[in-house]
Each structure stands twice: as C-alpha cells, then as structure tokens.
C-alpha cells in the first residue's frame, strides 16, 4: 500500500466517525439526553449502514 492510499483511507474513516458522532449528538440533543432504547438502536444501526 502506498502512503497516499493509507492517508486517504484514514481521512475517510475520520470523516465518517465525525459524522456518526454528530448524529449521536443530535439524537441526544433532540431527546434531551433521555433517548429511548429504540432511538439509540435505530441511530446505531443507521450509522453502521452509513459506514459500511
């Protein structure tokens, strides 16, 4: 693997992780920090689908 390929993959991973984290933050803000299990599971599953 070339160094540029590794750097691009790492950059993509950081970008996706940031977007997923922002999604969880928005979910917690919308539910005032008391999210039901369904909402947390839905957010986690949609994040997995987004990253995969």
| Residue range 18-35, pLDDT digits in tens | 988 898 899 889 989 888
> Residue 29: what pLDDT?
92
Which is more confidently placed, 12 or 50? 12
**In the chain, domain spans:** 16-51
Asked if 43 and 13 count as a contact pair (C-beta separation under 8 A), the reply is: no
- CA distances, 25 to each of 6, 7, 43 (Å): 28, 27, 11
Q: pTM of this prediction?
A: 0.71
Nearest 5°: CA angle at 44, between 42 and 47?
105
Has residue 52 got a pLDDT over 80? no
Average pLDDT along the chain:
85
Has residue 7 got a pLDDT over 80? yes
């Amino acid at each position: 693997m070339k160094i540029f390929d590794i750097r691009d993959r790492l950059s993509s991973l950081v970008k996706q992780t940031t977007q997923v984290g922002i999604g969880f933050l928005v979910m917690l803000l919308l539910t005032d920090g008391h999210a039901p299990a369904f909402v947390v599971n839905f957010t986690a599953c949609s994040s997995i689908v987004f990253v995969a």
